[in-house]
């Protein structure tokens, strides 16, 4: 029997086929697991069926980990490892523990000296950075910016300062229904010569990853409403 | 004929099998390309043969892009796209344009409005972050720290400040033959309660990704000499 291991299992984004974004090996690992810690049970079941149409979903145990999960419950999710079983962690889209709740359970596994193994899969943060043409030797991801207008503008200007002062690519995201507003805020508050990359629908059929100067984007923004987007700025 | 596209093609790290870390789709893309911009021709030929043992290497054109490439030459590497051909970019290990020279050619492609498409593959930065248990909502990658002792210590202390002040995971790398020195410098200069994740040989058979407090690592460091490592600190 293998050492009990916490596998971090990336998931497809949108309707992308498994073979396009996940190595075959991931399915082999999944087929040997009976316990899963997941952000959303319905999404995860559908994903596992897609990986292996023969899978017996009813024989699997799922623990749901999201913003509503109590921290005292999270530690109990690792109980199967204490009995020698491995567990898979699956997030809602992309890579677990990056910009999503999985990190808490990984931290507990590390603290208890369990083996943790990340699998390869799509990350919109990393893929947008690759395709932006921006500095990949120094970059920072900030998650969501503040919603309140003044705070958000202050934060945007601070990120733009870091671009010029530290030569560091700045990466952030927005709730999809506020993407158009986010882009307008960037165009209004950043310098015309600052470069903005808008990466939309990564790995999907309608993927576009386009870099232009802020001045050149003005009046030419695509409609990003409810499309998953990553925003990157650099000089 | 498809729109000329610059494909960013990740490569295996170490002796890892293709199926373990790359989606099947990447090989389909590779099989349709005749032009490649690569960090190292020998490594890239070996990788392409591994993806497709039937491949006719002599029918392919390679442009070498590394620290010695003149910037006036880089733009000419995109000439096949001007003739309607797609091009693949392959780095020495992991994902092109992240912590390696590919970003320059992507920036030119973006400037000239070519389509840029990143493919999925292993990234030691992202995989180590996933498995560290550290904050994946806010993180920064800094590449190599300064070599000179005083500067390096100043930088390490500044990164540790960012951990506590900004709740941001700090990620950096070192030339593999200086890894042991790097780890010693962290243990000597960071607070005992600061957490350090050492991620070694990611995706390889001897992969280990272990998080401990700086105080707990003391006297218990693994031998990292010449093993590819990523270092991450958080609280």
pLDDT single digits (tens) A151-206:
999 999 999 999 999 999 999 999 999 999 999 999 999 999 999 999 999 999 99
The answer to whether the beta carbons of residues A119 and A25 sit under 8 Å apart is: yes
Q: How confident is the model at residue B118 (pLDDT cuts 50, 70, 90)?
A: very high
Between chain A and chain B, the number of residue pairs with CB atoms below 8 A apart is 168
From CA B216, how far away is CA A67, in angstroms rounded? 31
Every domain range in chain A assigned CATH 3.30.950.10 = 124-234
Range(s) for CATH 3.40.1010.10 in chain A? 5-118
Minimal Cα distance from A22: which residue of B? Answer: B23
Identify which of A72-86, A188-202, B72-86, B89-103 has the greatest average pLDDT. Answer: A188-202
CB contact under 8 A, B95 and A130: yes
Within 13 A of A231's CA, how many CA atoms are on the CB side?
A: 32
Select the residue of A106, A135, A141 nearest B131 (Cβ to Cβ).
A106
**Residue-wise pLDDT tens digits, B180-200:** 999 999 999 999 999 999 999
Dihedral sign from CA coordinates of B18, B19, B23, B24: positive
Buried b (16+ CB within 10 A) or exposed e, A170-187: bbbbbeeebbbbbbebbb
pLDDT digit string (tens) for A118-160? 999 999 999 999 999 999 999 999 999 999 999 999 999 999 9
Which ranges of A18-123 does DSSP label H, i.e. alpha helix?
A: 18-21, 24-31, 41-51, 71-76, 79-82, 103-111
Cβ atoms of residues A116 and A81 within 8 Å: no
Distance from CA of A16 to the nearest CA of B (A): 11
Average pLDDT score, chain B: 94
pLDDT at B101 over 80: no
pLDDT at A1: 61
Nearest-Cα distance to chain B for A197, in Å, is: 9
Q: What is the pLDDT of residues B59-86, one digit of tens each?
A: 999 999 988 888 888 889 999 999 999 9
Q: How far apart are CA B45 and CA B42, in angstroms?
A: 5
Cβ contacts of A214 within 8 Å, gap of 6 or more: A186, A187, A190, A191, A192, A193, A194, A195, A196
Query: What is the C-alpha to C-alpha distance for residues A207 and B172, in angstroms, rounded to an integer?
Result: 30
The count of residues in chain A is 235
Alpha carbons B26 and A122: distance in angstroms, whole number: 13
Burial class of residue A195 in the structure, from the number of CB atoms within 10 Å of its CB (0-12 exposed, 13-18 middle, 19+ buried): buried
CA dist A201 and A14 (Å) reads 8
Please, are residues A78 and A114 in contact by the beta-carbon 8 Å criterion? yes
Question: What's the rounded Cα separation, in Å, for the pair A141 and B52?
Answer: 36
Residue whose structure tokens are 């006036």: B72
CATH architecture, domain defined by A5-118: 3-Layer(aba) Sandwich (3.40)
**Looking at residue B66, what is its pLDDT?**
85
Architecture of domain B124-234: 2-Layer Sandwich (3.30)
Residues of B in contact with A141 (CB under 8 A): 137-140
Predicted local confidence at residue B180, as pLDDT = 95
Q: In the structure, what pLDDT confidence band is assigned to residue B1 with cuts at 50, 70 and 90? A: low
Chain B residues whose beta carbon lies within 8 Å of the beta carbon of residue A202? 118
Nearest-neighbour CA in chain A from B221: distance (Å): 15
Helix (H, G, I), strand (E, B) or coil at B120: coil
B65, B118, B202: which to substitute to probe chain A, counting the most A Cβ within 10 Å? B118
Give the mean model confidence (pLDDT) for residues B158-177. 96
């Amino acid at each position: 029997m293998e050492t009990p291991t916490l596998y971090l299992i990336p998931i497809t984004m949108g309707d992308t086929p498994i073979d396009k974004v996940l190595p075959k090996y991931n399915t082999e690992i999944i087929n040997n697991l009976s316990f899963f810690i997941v952000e959303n049970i319905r999404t995860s079941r559908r994903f596992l069926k897609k990986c292996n149409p023969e899978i017996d979903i009813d024989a699997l145990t799922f623990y749901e980990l999201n913003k509503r999960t109590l921290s005292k419950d999270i530690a109990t999710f690792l109980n199967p490892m204490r009995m020698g079983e491995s567990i898979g962690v699956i997030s809602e889209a992309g890579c677990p523990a990056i910009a999503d709740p999985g990190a808490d359970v990984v931290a507990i596994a590390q603290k208890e000296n369990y083996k943790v193994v990340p699998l390869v899969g799509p990350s919109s943060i990393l893929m947008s950075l690759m395709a932006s043409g921006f500095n990949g030797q120094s970059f920072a991801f900030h998650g969501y910016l503040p919603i309140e207008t003044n705070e958000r503008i202050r934060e945007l200007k601070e990120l733009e300062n870091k671009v010029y002062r530290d030569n560091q690519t700045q990466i952030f995201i927005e709730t999809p229904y506020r993407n158009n507003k986010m882009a307008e805020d960037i165009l209004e508050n950043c310098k015309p010569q600052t470069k903005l990359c808008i990466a939309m629908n990564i790995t999907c059929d309608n993927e576009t990853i386009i870099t232009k100067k802020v001045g050149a984007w003005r009046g030419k923004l695509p409609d990003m409403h409810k499309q998953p987007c990553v925003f990157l700025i650099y000089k």
